[in-house]
């Protein structure tokens, strides 16, 4: 029989637990939360520190007989080295959020020219020439116009969804490319860069006509300058699709695709799969709805406006807007016809593709590994880390690895004999190409942007190339034609940006708490027993 005066083992246990100092419990709680968020945010700082030699390797996929690899990529040191992320940004989510919030972009000013397409649409072309790059004292060199006889290579940049020339990653790219001696022009999508929409034609994830007419215009204006193209995110998808459509007829000498989504249908499944991806999905949807509000009259007439306002995901938005305006049977039909994967085999120019395997927006599941390996003109580069368009490197995160790799590749290509030579288009072939284009290039169309532009396009079948009916208006610096609409857009975009910031703030809070506790805690004096 138990002695009632004997204390219960549980009582002894609780008494022992009360003897443990409270701060030790706090330390344990912080440790548990740190481990949880380390995995939740996909930190890889410890892995980089211990397994840097193995994890940091840059992986190259190419055809065994690829002349582009053996003649160009083999000379690029950055592509045969390692990429190690900035230690305090060793997470794809932190990298992506930091790039959207600030990104530490260089400071400079573009020179703007407005390109007027034959359908009345306006495209802002923002130039940064090698003479525009600021010198050490911060003042730019003499800003001379590019002459018709100039042989300096031109890099044409196609931004991501709703990005424009003011985006941090594009500033990194433009500045460093111009600094290396090239002329850079960012071809902003219609309705972006502070330019009002001047026609019923808008871009979308599969809309390649603007790339086509801009390149034709640049070739006509600067016939002696070799043209190269760099596409980022959705811009990369558009670029690869354009290259596949044109084949050997494109005037481009080479191209680079950064963080392409490749297959939009797979990407749609991925972005709605986990809680973390659904946060990005919601943030982008808010941006799309903000752009839709700028074009409410068109969407009220052409789409399901009430459904657009109630959309909770990009797929919902496409269902209520894209399918109605673009006359697609289903959302999946739109994604399939806009994806660039099916065009990879037709690419006839040297193409470097860079993707991060931990990209939180463009999943590695969509990368066409075998299609890239089968094409001798393509070299696919993958890194284990990098986030979406980030790839920050160095302790100060002042540079992007993919920008350095891109410039090195284009520099080696421009000095080699492997640049693409345009095949002269035979008379009448333009019309046949138009007839063979998939329905995605036969209006009406829908513009879908990262921060949210959406609008309809309705082109007639007999629309001709716009290079014969273009008007270029020169302006110094970006100007907003509709200040009220642009301010509304900025307010709408802030909601999606702050949602992305919430991810970084919440996930990084335990580490901040540990740092604050370490810096500001008071030292405890040791307690010594006094002798009696």
Mark residue 452 as left, alpha or beta (left: phi above 0; alpha: psi -120 to 50; beta: remaining).
left
Q: How confident is the model at residue 505 (pLDDT cuts 50, 70, 90)?
A: low
Q: Is the pLDDT of residue 192 over 50?
A: yes
Q: Please report which confidence band the pLDDT of residue 230 belongs to, taking 50, 70 and 90 as the band edges.
A: very high
Distance CA 242, CA 391 (A): 26
Q: Scan for tokens 């094409």, then name that residue.
A: 375
In tens, the pLDDT along 21-50 reads 888 889 889 999 888 888 888 988 888 887
Which pLDDT score is estimated for 134? Answer: 64
Q: What is the pTM of this model?
A: 0.78
Does the structure show a pLDDT above 60 at 204?
A: yes
Which long-range contacts does 22-28 make (Cβ < 8 Å, 24+ apart)?
26/517
- pLDDT at residue 465 is higher than 50: no
H helix and E strand count, the chain: 19, 14
Per-residue pLDDT, 484: 43
Q: Look at residue 95 and tell me whether its pLDDT is greater than 70.
A: yes
| Residue 295 confidence class, pLDDT cut points 50, 70, 90 | confident
Catalytic center residues: 233, 359, 388
The mean pLDDT value for 101-126 works out to 92
Query: What pLDDT was estimated at residue 342?
Result: 96
pLDDT of residue 470: 40
Contact between 152 and 164 (Cβ < 8 Å): no
Check pLDDT > 90 for residue 379: yes
The DSSP line for 373-387 is HH-TTEEEEEES--T
Q: Do residues 176 and 294 lie in contact, with contact meaning Cβ atoms separated by under 8 Å?
A: no
- State how far the Cα of 235 lies from the Cα of 186, in Å rounded to an integer: 11
Average pLDDT over residues 225-236: 97
What torsion do the CA atoms of 25, 28, 33, 38 make, to the nearest 10 degrees?
160
At 303 the pLDDT is: 84
- Which tokens in the block code for residue 157? 């940049």
- Which pLDDT does position 201 carry in this prediction? 75
pLDDT at 442: 35
Lowest mean pLDDT of 39-53, 312-326, 367-381, 506-520, name the range: 506-520
pLDDT at 500: 58
Q: What count of other Cβ atoms lies within 10 Å of the Cβ of residue 220?
A: 13
Contact status, residue 195 vs residue 122, Cβ threshold 8 Å: yes
Asked if the model's pLDDT at residue 353 lies above 80, the reply is yes
For CA atoms 312, 316, 320, 322, the dihedral sign is positive
3-11 own/partner pairs: CB under 8 Å, 24+ apart:
none
């Amino acid at each position: 029989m138990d002695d009632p005066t004997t204390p219960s083992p549980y009582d002894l246990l609780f008494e022992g637990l009360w003897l443990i100092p409270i701060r030790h419990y706090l330390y344990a709680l912080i440790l548990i939360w740190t481990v949880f968020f380390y995995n939740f945010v996909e930190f890889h700082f410890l892995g980089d520190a211990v397994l840097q030699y193995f994890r940091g390797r840059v992986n190259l996929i190419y055809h065994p007989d690829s002349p582009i690899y053996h003649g160009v990529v083999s000379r690029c040191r950055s592509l045969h080295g390692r990429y190690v992320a900035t230690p305090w940004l060793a997470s794809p989510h932190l990298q992506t959020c930091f790039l959207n919030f600030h990104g530490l972009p260089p400071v400079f000013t573009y020179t703007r020219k407005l390109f007027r397409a034959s359908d009345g649409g306006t495209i802002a072309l923002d130039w940064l020439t090698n003479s525009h790059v600021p010198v050490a004292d911060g003042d730019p060199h003499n800003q001379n116009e590019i002459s018709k006889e100039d042989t300096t290579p031109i890099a044409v940049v196609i931004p991501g969804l709703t990005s424009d020339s003011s985006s941090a990653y594009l500033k990194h790219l433009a500045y460093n490319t111009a600094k290396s001696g090239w002329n850079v022009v960012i071809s902003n999508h219609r309705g972006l860069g502070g330019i009002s929409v001047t026609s019923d034609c808008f871009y979308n994830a599969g809309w390649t006509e603007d790339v086509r007419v801009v390149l034709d215009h640049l070739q006509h204006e600067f016939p002696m300058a070799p043209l190269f193209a760099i596409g980022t995110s959705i811009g990369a998808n558009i670029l690869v699709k354009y290259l596949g459509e044109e084949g050997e007829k494109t005037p481009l000498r080479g191209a680079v695709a950064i963080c392409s989504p490749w297959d939009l249908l797979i990407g749609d499944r991925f972005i709605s799969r986990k809680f973390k991806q659904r946060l990005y999905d919601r943030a982008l949807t808010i941006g799309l709805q903000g752009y839709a509000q700028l074009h409410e009259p068109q969407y009220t007439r052409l789409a399901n406006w009430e459904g657009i306002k109630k959309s909770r995901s990009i797929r919902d938005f496409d269902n209520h807007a894209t399918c109605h305006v673009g006359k697609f049977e289903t959302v999946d039909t739109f994604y399939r016809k806009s994806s660039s994967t099916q065009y990879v085999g037709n690419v006839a120019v040297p193409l470097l593709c860079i993707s991060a395997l931990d990209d939180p927006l463009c999943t590695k599941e969509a990368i066409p590994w075998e299609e890239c390996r089968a094409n001798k003109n393509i070299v696919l580069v993958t890194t284990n880390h990098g986030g979406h368009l980030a790839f920050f490197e160095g302790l100060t995160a002042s540079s992007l690895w993919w920008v350095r790799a891109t410039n090195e590749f284009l520099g080696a290509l421009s000095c080699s004999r492997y640049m693409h030579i345009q095949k002269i288009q035979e008379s009448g072939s333009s019309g046949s190409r138009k007839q063979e284009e998939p329905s995605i290039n036969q209006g009406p169309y829908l513009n879908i942007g990262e921060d949210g532009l959406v609008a309809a396009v309705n082109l007639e079948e007999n629309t001709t190339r716009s290079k014969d009916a273009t008007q270029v208006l020169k302006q110094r610096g970006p100007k907003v034609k509709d200040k009220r609409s642009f301010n509304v857009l900025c307010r709408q975009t802030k909601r999606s940006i702050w949602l992305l910031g919430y991810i970084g703030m919440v996930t990084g809070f335990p580490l901040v708490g540990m740092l604050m506790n370490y810096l500001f805690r008071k030292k405890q004096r040791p307690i010594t027993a006094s002798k009696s």
